[in-house]
A and B are shown apart, each in its own frame.
Chain A
Amino acid sequence: MKRLIFCLVCVLILGACKEEKQLQLQTKPTIKIGVNLHLTGQLAHTGQGAQNAILMAFEKWQKKDTKYHYELIFEDDMLKTQQAAVNAQKLINVDGVRAILSLFGLIDRVIDDIANQNKIISISCSYGKAKVPEYGINTGAQNEEIYAAVLAQLQKQNVKKVVLQGSQSAVSFAILDYFEKHLPDDGIEVLLNEKHNLDIRDFRSSIQKAEQLQPDYYLIFGVEPMNSIFVKQYREITGKQNLASLGSFPEIADALWPQMEGLWAASLIGGTKEFTKEYQTRFHDRVHGCSANLYDGLNMLITAFENTPLRNGQKIPDNKDVIQYLHHIGTYNGAFGTIQMDENGIGHPKVEIVKMQNGKWQPIEE
Chain B
Amino acid sequence: MLFVLLINVLIVGAGYGLIAMAFALMSSVSPFFNMTLGSIIAFGAYGAYALMNMLGISPFVAIPLSVIFCALISAVLEYFVFTPLRKKGASSMVLLVASLGLYTIFEAIIHLIFGPQYQILGSVSSQNLNFGNFSIPKVQLITIFVDIIVFGFLYFLLTHTFLGKLVRAVKSNAGLSKIIGINNNRVILIVSCLSGIILGTSGVLTGYDTGMEPTMGFNLLFKGIIAAIIGGTGNISGPFLGAFFLSFAENIGVMIWASEWRDLVAFVIFIIFLIFRPQGIFEKKEP
Assuming A45-B117, A45-B118, A202-B210, is B135 touching A236 (CB within 8 A)?
A: yes
Q: Are B262 and A204 in contact (CB under 8 A)?
A: no
Partner of A197, one of B116, B220, B251, B260: B260
Within 8 A of A (CB), among B111-129: 111, 115-123, 125-126, 128
Mark the stretch among A149-157, A221-229, A306-314, A334-342 that contacts chain B.
Answer: A221-229
* B108 contacts across to A, CB distance below 8 A: 40
Judge whether A48 and B116 touch: CB under 8 Å.
yes
List chain A residues, Cβ under 8 A from B148. Answer: none
Shortest beta-carbon distance, A175 to chain B, in Å? 17
Within 8 A of B (CB), among A238-278: 239, 252-253, 255-256, 258-259
A204 and B11 contact, CB distance less than 8 A: yes
Say yes or no for B5: interface residue by CB 8 A criterion: yes
- For the complex, count residues of B whose C-beta is within 8 A of A: 39
Q: Could you say which residues of chain A place their CB within 8 Å of the CB of B254?
A: 205-206, 209
B117 adjacent to A224 (CB under 8 Å): yes
B119, A41: Cβ atoms under 8 Å?
no
Residue of A nearest to B263 (CB): A197
The answer to the question of A168 belonging to the interface, with a C-beta cut-off of 8 Å to chain B, is: yes
Q: Which of A202, A224, A255 contacts B123 (CB 8 A)?
A: A255
Q: List 26 A-B contacts (CB under 8 A).
A: A44-B111, A45-B116, A45-B117, A196-B259, A197-B260, A197-B262, A199-B219, A199-B263, A202-B8, A202-B12, A202-B210, A203-B259, A204-B12, A208-B4, A208-B255, A224-B117, A232-B125, A232-B210, A235-B126, A236-B128, A237-B135, A253-B117, A255-B119, A255-B121, A255-B122, A285-B117
Q: Which of B4, B118, B121, B258 contacts A225 (CB 8 A)?
A: B118
Mask of A8-52 contacts with B, CB within 8 angstroms, 1/0: 000000000000000000000000000000001110110110000
B4 touches A200 (CB 8 A): no
Q: How many CB-defined contacts (below 8 Å) exist between A and B?
A: 106
**Is A93 close to B, CB under 8 A?**
no
Q: CB-CB < 8 A to B214: which residues of A?
A: 44
The residues in B between 77 and 122 inclusive whose CB is less than 8 angstroms from any CB of A are 108, 111, 115-122
Q: How far is the CB of A84 from chain B (nearest CB, A)?
A: 18
A-B CB proximity, top 9 nearest: A44-B116, A45-B117, A225-B118, A205-B254, A201-B210, A199-B219, A45-B116, A255-B120, A196-B259
Q: Which residues of A does B touch, CB under 8 Å?
A: 40-42, 44-45, 47-48, 168, 194-197, 199-206, 208-209, 212, 224-225, 228-229, 232, 235-237, 239, 252-253, 255-256, 258-259, 285-286, 288
A204–B255 touching, CB < 8 Å: no
When chains A and B are docked, how far (Å) is the Cα of A228 from the Cα of B137? 16
A167 to chain B, nearest CB (A): 10
B117–A208 CB distance below 8 A: no
B127: nearest residue on chain A (CB-CB)? A236
Q: Which residue of A lies closest to B210 (CB)?
A: A201
Taking a contact as CB atoms closer than 8 A, the residue among B126, B211, B255 that contacts A253 in the complex is B211
- Nearest B residue to A199 by beta-carbon distance? B219
Complex Cα distance, B220 from A194, in Å, reads 22
In the complex, what residues of B have CB within 8 A of residue A201's CB? 206, 210, 219-220
> Residue on B with the closest CB to A226?
B118
Which residue of the partner chain B has the closest CB to A192?
Answer: B258
Docked CA distance A177–B142 (Å) = 39
Distance to closest chain A CB from B131 (angstroms) = 13
Per the 8 Å Cβ criterion, residues 214-256 of B in contact with A are: 214-215, 219-220, 251, 254-255
